[in-house]
Amino acid sequence: MTSKTKHTQLIKTEAKRLGFLSCGISKAEFLEAEAPRLETWLNQNMHGEMRYMENHFDKRLDPTKLVEGSKSVISLLLNYYPQEEQNSNSYKISKYAFGTDYHFVIKDKLKSLLQFIREEIGEVNGRAFVDSAPVLDKAWAAKSGLGWIGKHSNLLTQQVGSFYFVAELIVDLELDYDAPTTDHCGSCTACIEACPTQAIVEPYVVDGSKCISYFTIELKDNIPAEYKGQFDDWMFGCDVCQDVCPWNRFSKPHKEPLFNPHPELLSMSKKDWEEITEETFRKVFKKSAVKRTKFSGLKRNIDFVKD
């Protein structure tokens, strides 16, 4: 067995031990196929007010510009599918935000993995990325064989669906590379038909500026009045395109205690949400990603979705 293969197996075994669903590896190189797609998407202003998407165009497409001497992109998936649902008479929160903010949870696991690589293999230069730097997470995961990009633009995997986070370690270590998998969306258009705001403008193209997640999390101004009545009770994020996807019938609950929700989150009714105080907000969302929208933002969203 070559040292490259040995190192690859070591990394994948440790990733599994740390609780990751799966681990795929691809060569750190320019993402040729993604460049025109990203450029078109930006030119059509589908990023709305997410101006940060315009920054670091080159770095987004070339990991060697992010990590000097990088040779491999290690992509990892972490399941967040919850055991329990919210109260059926409640305003809805995207499943990924039920528990502790995933940035913290995954960053810790990635740091542990990088530490392990250094201890077992030697001096390796690398950086951990969790959806917070100019890295095209889903493109790398697809290139690494972890799934394909579905018509709703999320990564999909036959065995487990799409309710997982995608993260990377970019390292200056040569490893064995995985091959991409094939697309299994077929003629299904469930996600396109179900999107409450018609944000999936064509298969594989989502107009971010029409997405409920964008309106309820990214948009700082008032939500445009023409979308009143179209939010289907979503007050933070939206899971509709994933909920209707046939592949998500294979989703299994996660085993990460940090992703378990605050008990009050599951039991709160619409009335409770409408009367939420800043104190309750701080208690229920103590370490949650929902804090991104702040108390005032969540109140704005609730006022917009309530009848």
Catalytic residues, by residue number, are 131
- Rounded CA-CA distance 261/99 in Å is 4
Long-range pairs of 209-217 with CB within 8 A, sequence gap ≥ 24: 209/45, 209/46, 209/47, 209/48, 209/49, 211/238, 212/237, 212/238, 212/240, 213/94, 213/237, 213/238, 214/48, 214/50, 215/301, 216/293, 216/297, 216/301, 217/292, 217/293, 217/297
Please identify which residue in the block is written with the tokens 């390796």.
124
Write b or e for each residue in 48-76: b if 16 or more Cβ atoms lie within 10 A of its Cβ, otherwise e: beeeebeeeeeebbbbeebbeebbbbbbb
Which residues are 79's β-sheet partners? 164
Phi/psi zone of residue 96: left (φ > 0), alpha (ψ -120 to 50 degrees), beta? alpha
Strands 126-129 and 92-93: what pairing? unpaired
- Rounded CA-CA distance 257/239 in Å is 21
- Is the Cβ–Cβ distance between 216 and 238 less than 8 Å? yes
Nearest to 219 by CA among 231, 201, 229: 231
- Is the Cβ–Cβ distance between 133 and 66 less than 8 Å? yes
